[in-house]
Amino acid sequence: MAILAEYHKPTSLAQAFELLSDSASRRVPLAGGAYLVGALETRQRRDIEGVVDLAGLGLSFIEQDGAYLHVGAMTTITDLIQHPLSAELAGGILPDTARYEGPLNLRNAATVGGLVAIAEPDSETYAALLALNASVMTVDPSGLETSSPLQEFTDARQAPSQAPSLITGIRLPLGQAAAGHARIARTPMDRCIVAAVAVIRADGKSSRPEPADGGGNNASASVALCGLGPHPRLAGGPHIPEGDFKGSAEYRLAMVDVVVRRARAAAATHL
Amino acid sequence: MQSPITLTINGSLHHIDIHPGELLRTTLRRLRIYSVKHADETGESGADAILFTRTPEDPTSYRLVNCGLILAAQADGASIISLEGLEEEGEESATRSRKEALSPRLSALQQQFIECGAIQCGYCTPAQMLAAQHLLDKDPQPSEAAVRAAIAGVLCRCTGYLKPVQAVLRTAAQLQGKTPPPLEIDVGDAPATGEWPTPDELPPDGWRGDGPDTQTQTRSVPVTVAPPQTQVVNKAEPKVDAVKLAKGRPVFTDDVEMPGMLYGGLLTSPVAHARILSIDTSAALALPGVHAVQTYADLPRVIYASGGQSYPQPPPYDQVCLDSKVRYVGDRVATVAAETPELVQEALERIKVEYEELPAVFSPEDAMQPGAPVIHDEEDAQMIHDAKGNIAVKLRVDLNDVDDAIDSAAFVFESEYRVHQVQQSSIEPHIVITYWDEDDRLVIRTSTQVPFHVRRMVAPLLGLPVRRIRVVKPRIGGGFGGKQEMLLEDLCAHLTIETGRPVKFEYTRKLEFTSSRTRHPQRLRFRSGVDASGKLVAMDVRVVADTGAYGTHGLTVQMVTGFRALSTYWLPAARFDCDVVYTNKPVPGAFRGYGAPQALFGLEQHMEEMALAFGMDPVEFKRINWVKEGQSLPMAVAMGEGREGFPQVVESSGLAECVETGAASIGWDRRNDPEWKAPPDRPHIRRGIGLAICMHGTGIAGLDMGAASIKLNDDGSFNLLVGATDLGTGSDTVLAQIAAEALGVPLEQILIYSSDTDFTPFDTGAYASSTTYISGGAVLKAAEDVSRQIRRHAAAHLFDGTDADQLWLEGQKVVAPDGQAVPLETVALHSIHQEEQHQIMATASHMSYVSPPPFAAQYVSLEVDTETGQVTVERAAMAVDCGIAINPVTASGQVEGGMTQALGYALCEEMPYDHTGKLQIDRFGDYRILAADEMPQLDTVLVQTYEPTGPFGAKAIAEIPMDGMAPAIASAIFDATGVRIRQIPFTPERVWRALQREES
């Protein structure tokens, strides 16, 4: 049961920060609710007394900003994948992967900000954003806006001393890239056990500026992986997966090469 | 603190005060929008889907969302459309026929859902239809893939999605001004002799295309025996409850408002095995609005068994309402009744329990070890086989000398298989409402498959005589065996007794997984011998079954396992040796198939492996050994329902035809096509086709009893009262069809009501595939009695003394050989008001000492990804001999839905535990139920035979679709890869590991 004492719907970021900064009232931001309301209902989250609904902050938008696509944090997954610019990006990798975030009725409520904030280990759309070199835009109580690469942002949120900030949106580079996607799941539409997303620029280069490494990212492809840790990650680093009922750590590790190879091959066919 | 919001719902503006944490679903239901259903807390079920927008001036802005994942406060100012908003107004008419009555008042989509048989339990139907209508509004000519994607967020556990998809596609055609083709339910009078129907030609590549027509095919091929000439039976009549379900009317347990109603809640154990040292309820009781907190100290200790079965309950008796010991994570600890669900939750969290943890065991093998923790050490448990050894039940049945027969066999084969624990997962959770009526009788309104058993079983627990209890079964949102259990009724009733108030008690989805019922896991070892010709001479089956913390259904489920394992093929000698073992895990119980899916997973693979080892074609090996018409089922005598059974002889079997037609449907010959099996352009893919033979039962011989009452009304219509329990299967429709046929009236003249222990006669309930056969037998008897009374009265008073036996009922009239006819209405009015006044009515009971087996052939074609182990089933075809299908639409719906559940059993449904016995899944999604957009093509073929002991030749069909899928998939994986996997589910990792082992 959602046992809440308060519901707030601020109309400015300042109001939102004021509500959220009162640590005694145990308030948290509420985006679409697809995750949080369920967590409240199941009592998975019992540490919350109030929610601050971000729907009144004007953060639901998609607009082109030069060579980037700027997506507001309260934009739903459906709106993201239906927008012509994002739908075409890298041959449609965002709609391709978003199908596996859940069915339509969940995608209609879930937001980009929520997807980025939760960074579920099997979120293939998050992996696609990683491979597309997305940045996360945040603002702190002083109004300072910051842009961080998605993976850095997620890593930083794990730090206990994380300063309060709100996700306002993401930025996606609009390069003419191709992408490929490979996944392993119990059923065709189940959330993945392991998956990979590979993105290649039109010139055959990786969408990421980093130099080549030995784990899947190189000059020709940026690869992100799901199911190998607490959050999806760019390929290349060490994988220390935790096994669960869907697949053991050993199985997940053994599948990395398969899904990376297939994702890269699929991307190559789309060039 | 409450705050006001405004909502525009189906065009009407509402101002309503809400709590900060109130869900929009709760608000809508407060506003009597009952079509939005609770099925889970995390949105995966989609049963509460609505259309939602903040810009209603733009009709395209509506989005399908789950109102259980939106706070009501978030929705302030929004516009909402629910199923109620899709209705079209129409004129009432007192005399219209059933179909005429439907058309003006239902949308095209609702009509198609009804005509296609797309509604079974109807619990998910409102959301499914809303999702479909939303698609049609945007895309008037959707592809099948688009339809499946649109409704994929609404889980259905009944239909297999085929008929809903078919309904949406046909609606689209209808709205485009096209005439949808006739439904592919082709049941006519079958030839008694003649050639087999020609199956559809397959294209050269063996696969049908993906067009919108292919996956919506359901074919019923009449084969062997001409059914009787009928007017209502054997016809695709729309379900009698379809309109109210299509309209989302308040028909389920939860859909009532009771003044002063409290909410009940259950505190469950966080540990697998412990004694409760103390419980402090004071903080919970101190909360204003909390009216009762009950623990073991508050309730009488009465030993019982919770399985909803006939009297006397099969042992063991090992439960009490609330105990001072807990035996699994999720076991009952305490209950609360409070003014709101939120208060209930707060109170539950304030109950302080001190546990003395005990060692726990999580596998039968460990539990049977000397020195293992004793799970039932209470002194008052009764009829446990070996409590100290954790053996709830021991079964041992011998038919002739198995060892001698195997010793002398030409060839002996032995193999072992494992099946796992899965959950029924009806979309409607367990829910009960209890209250005192004006005569101080306790009314239990409950979603149950067994209302009469519940009344009998709950009475001693409450200390009330049966006469002071009334059990009402409204519509049920699916059961699948999970509601063949007295699960919550006792707890809810105790709270009403203490508080004097109505109490509603509903499980969350998490509690459904942790604290309701599941399917028994088993380890099955088969040892068989054959003679030189390949005929079986003996089979020895050893089963170790896990019954979790309590023994409910443990005896009888495993008895069915043994019976199915040792009766599908004819055996001169057989042995069944089974230990049903306690563990500290959630409790298995009844689940569609009831022990047969476990048995057949082992049996069918064992037979296939043995044939290959022996050097015979597996299908031929099965063919020469399966039971045939005229053969007896010797194990039936020894293996009744927890008692001695009765001799059985197979009177009808269409199994050979099932195998033949199923093979044609699946394209069996593709097994010999190397390019199909190993597609050159996909080197990591291997394809295969598998077959499993299935045989089930039809009711429990000598035990199941159903009764029916039929009363003639003034206008020539009939009230039909049955205790049988339609849990979405369409049994109300089938029973009404039987009555209508016997009484010579169209279906709409039968007003069926089920079931209420005060008003309807007894029925054992909806289980064991018994309703059509047993309850239908009662209906037929009662109808024939009423027919006799009508004819006798008419003969005496309206036909000038004509011999009543010369009259018959037809077209709502009594007809004489000379063509004279008198309307039933005239007979009714005459018998009630004019001469020899009396009420024409009859009650009849039916019980059968035979349980004629339905047969089936389950085929599957699939792909195996040899690099990842991922299995993708592309097509499943089941040919079923169910006798005469009383209603081919509902019958084929049973097959499609059953196959879909069976696919989940084989592929993806699983109840994993951590090392402390805690279940690692607590929501849909993790517990993966197949969705509409990931289904293989389903083909159903009804191979009709005439069962002489059944009403109008009918046998059962509800459970057999559950039985063959897992072994057929195992067979197909073997065909594809040469690797035998003897354990389910076939998860990618399990298959990958098996492939790795084979490689190494």
Chain A residues closer than 8 Å to B23 by CB: 2, 37, 41
Q: Is B388 on the interface with A (CB under 8 A)?
A: no
Q: Quick check: is A223 in a domain?
A: yes
- Regarding whether A185 and A85 lie in a shared domain, the answer is no
Q: Where among A144, A173, A202 does a domain terminate?
A: A173
pLDDT digits (tens, 9 = 90+) for B699-748: 888 889 999 999 999 999 999 999 999 999 999 999 999 999 999 999 99
Chain A residues closer than 8 Å to B921 by CB: 245
What is the reported pLDDT for A84?
93
Crossing angle of helices B655-666 and B618-625, rounded to 10°: 160
pLDDT mean over B423-435: 98
What is the reported pLDDT for B908?
98
Q: Is B131 on the interface with A (CB under 8 A)?
A: yes
- Regarding whether A160 and A72 lie in a shared domain, the answer is yes
For the domain made up of B362-420+527-623, the CATH class stated in words is alpha beta
8 Å CB contact of A2 and B49: no
Number of neighbouring beta carbons within 10 Å of residue B683: 10
pLDDT for residue A205 is more than 70: no
Give the nearest partner residue to B934 out of A33, A188, A251, using CB atoms: A188
- Chain B, residues 494-523, CB within 8 A of chain A, namely 508, 510
Q: Is A30 on the interface with B (CB under 8 A)?
A: yes
Minimal CA separation from B553 to chain A, in Å: 27
pLDDT for residue B29 is more than 60: yes
Average pLDDT, chain B: 93
What confidence tier does B93 reach under pLDDT thresholds 50, 70, 90? very low
What confidence tier does A213 reach under pLDDT thresholds 50, 70, 90? very low
- Regarding whether A263 and A188 lie in a shared domain, the answer is yes
Minimal CA separation from A209 to chain B, in Å: 31
pLDDT for residue A103 is more than 70: yes
For the domain made up of B705-847, the CATH class stated in words is alpha beta
8 Å CB contact of A4 and B922: no
pLDDT for residue B226 is more than 90: no
Query: Structure tokens of B34?
Result: 């009952």
pLDDT for residue B216 is more than 80: no
Q: Where among A173, A199, A216 does a domain terminate?
A: A173
Classify B842 as helix, strand or coil.
strand
What is the reported pLDDT for B196?
27
Chain B residues closer than 8 Å to A40 by CB: 21
Q: Quick check: is A1 in a domain?
A: no
Strand order in the sheet with B871-881: B685-695, B855-865, B871-881, B937-942
Q: Quick check: is A141 in a domain?
A: yes
- Regarding whether A213 and A156 lie in a shared domain, the answer is no
Q: How many CA atoms lie within 13 A of B379 on its CB side?
A: 0
Q: Quick check: is A194 in a domain?
A: yes
The CA distance from B87 to B504, in Å, is 30
Classify B98 as helix, strand or coil.
helix
8 Å CB contact of B21 and A4: yes
Q: Is A204 on the interface with B (CB under 8 A)?
A: no
The CATH superfamily of B262-358+424-515 is Aldehyde oxidase/xanthine dehydrogenase, a/b hammerhead (3.90.1170.50)
The CA distance from B528 to B606, in Å, is 9
What confidence tier does B209 reach under pLDDT thresholds 50, 70, 90? very low
What 8-state DSSP symbol labels residue B76? Answer: T
8 Å CB contact of B342 and A9: no
Q: Which regions of chain B carry the CATH code 3.10.20.30?
A: 3-86
- Regarding whether A159 and A69 lie in a shared domain, the answer is yes
Q: Which regions of chain B carry the CATH code 3.30.365.10?
A: 362-420+527-623, 705-847
- Regarding whether A96 and A82 lie in a shared domain, the answer is yes
What is the reported pLDDT for B90?
46
Give the nearest partner residue to A245 out of B73, B912, B934, using CB atoms: B912
In which element (H, E) is residue B908 found?
none
8 Å CB contact of A105 and B910: no
The CA distance from B45 to B427, in Å, is 7
Whichever domain contains A255, its CATH number is: 3.30.390.50
Number of domains in chain A: 3
Q: Quick check: is A101 in a domain?
A: yes
- Chain B, residues 65-84, CB within 8 A of chain A, namely 65-66, 68-71, 73-74, 76
Nearest alpha-carbon partner for B149 in A86, A76, A256, A188: A188
Alpha helix segments (H runs only) across B368-439: 402-407
Minimal CA separation from B605 to chain A, in Å: 22
The CA distance from B714 to B825, in Å, is 6
DSSP string, B629-657: TT-B-THHHH-SSSS-----B-----HHH
- Chain A, residues 241-260, CB within 8 A of chain B, namely 244-248, 251, 254-255, 258
CB B391 within 8 A of CB B318: no
- What's the longest Cα–Cα distance across chain B? 89
Q: What chain A residue is nearest to B869 in terms of C-alpha separation?
A: A184
Give the nearest partner residue to B908 out of A9, A190, A248, using CB atoms: A190
The CA distance from A62 to A82, in Å, is 11
- Regarding whether A265 and A208 lie in a shared domain, the answer is yes
Q: What is the 3-state secondary structure (H, E, C) of B215-279?
A: CCCCECCCCCCCCCCCCCCCCCCCCCCHHHHHCCCCCECCCCCCCCCEEEEEEECCCCCEEEEEE
- Regarding whether A161 and A73 lie in a shared domain, the answer is yes
8 Å CB contact of A251 and B992: yes
Top mean-pLDDT range of B174-183, B359-368, B796-805: B359-368
Chain B residues closer than 8 Å to A187 by CB: 907-908, 928, 930, 934
pLDDT digits (tens, 9 = 90+) for B478-533: 999 999 999 999 999 999 999 999 999 999 999 999 999 999 999 999 999 999 99
- B204 vs B747 pLDDT, higher one: B747
Minimal CA separation from A104 to chain B, in Å: 6
pLDDT digits (tens, 9 = 90+) for B311-341: 999 999 999 999 999 999 999 999 999 999 9
CB B730 within 8 A of CB B120: yes
Angle CA(B337)–CA(B340)–CA(B345) in degrees, nearest 5? 70
What is the reported pLDDT for B105?
75
pLDDT mean over B831-840: 97
- Among the CATH numbers 3.30.2080.10, 3.10.20.30, 3.30.70.1350, 3.30.70.1400, which is that of B3-86? 3.10.20.30
- Regarding whether A41 and A75 lie in a shared domain, the answer is no
What confidence tier does B834 reach under pLDDT thresholds 50, 70, 90? very high
- B460 vs B698 pLDDT, higher one: B460
Contacts of B392 (CB under 8 A, 6+ apart): B316, B318, B376, B384, B385, B547, B551, B554, B555, B580, B581, B582
Task: Say what the ipTM of the complex is.
Answer: 0.95
The CA distance from B194 to B900, in Å, is 34
Whichever domain contains A67, its CATH number is: 3.30.465.10
Q: Is B20 on the interface with A (CB under 8 A)?
A: yes
Q: Where among A131, A152, A173 does a domain terminate?
A: A173
Q: Is A2 on the interface with B (CB under 8 A)?
A: yes
Chain B residues closer than 8 Å to A34 by CB: 43, 69
- Regarding whether A183 and A145 lie in a shared domain, the answer is no
Q: Quick check: is A128 in a domain?
A: yes
What is the reported pLDDT for B190?
35
pLDDT mean over A56-80: 96
Picking from A81, A187, A253 by the largest number of B CB atoms within 10 A of its own CB, the best residue to mutate is: A187
pLDDT for residue B98 is more than 60: no
pLDDT for residue B461 is more than 70: yes
- Chain B, residues 638-657, CB within 8 A of chain A, namely none
- Regarding whether A198 and A225 lie in a shared domain, the answer is yes
Minimal CA separation from B298 to chain A, in Å: 26
Q: Quick check: is A105 in a domain?
A: yes
- Chain B, residues 316-355, CB within 8 A of chain A, namely 341-342, 344-346, 349
Q: Is A81 on the interface with B (CB under 8 A)?
A: no
8 Å CB contact of B71 and A105: no
Classify B422 as helix, strand or coil.
coil
Top mean-pLDDT range of A2-6, B187-191, B836-840: B836-840
Picking from B61, B66, B336 by the largest number of A CB atoms within 10 A of its own CB, the best residue to mutate is: B66
Give the percent of chain B with pLDDT over 70: 93
8 Å CB contact of B153 and A106: yes
What is the reported pLDDT for B189?
34
Q: Are strands B705-712 and B431-436 parallel, antiparallel or unpaired?
A: unpaired
pLDDT mean over B804-829: 97
What confidence tier does B187 reach under pLDDT thresholds 50, 70, 90? very low
pLDDT digits (tens, 9 = 90+) for B435-458: 999 999 999 999 999 999 999 999
- A208 vs B201 pLDDT, higher one: A208
Q: What chain A residue is nearest to B867 in terms of C-alpha separation?
A: A258
pLDDT mean over B870-898: 96
pLDDT for residue A90 is more than 90: yes
Minimal CA separation from B508 to chain A, in Å: 8
Domain that holds residue A214: 178-269
Picking from B124, B874, B989 by the largest number of A CB atoms within 10 A of its own CB, the best residue to mutate is: B989
pLDDT for residue B390 is more than 90: yes
Determine which of A126-130, B619-623, B635-639 has the lowest per-residue pLDDT on average: B635-639
- Regarding whether A94 and A130 lie in a shared domain, the answer is yes
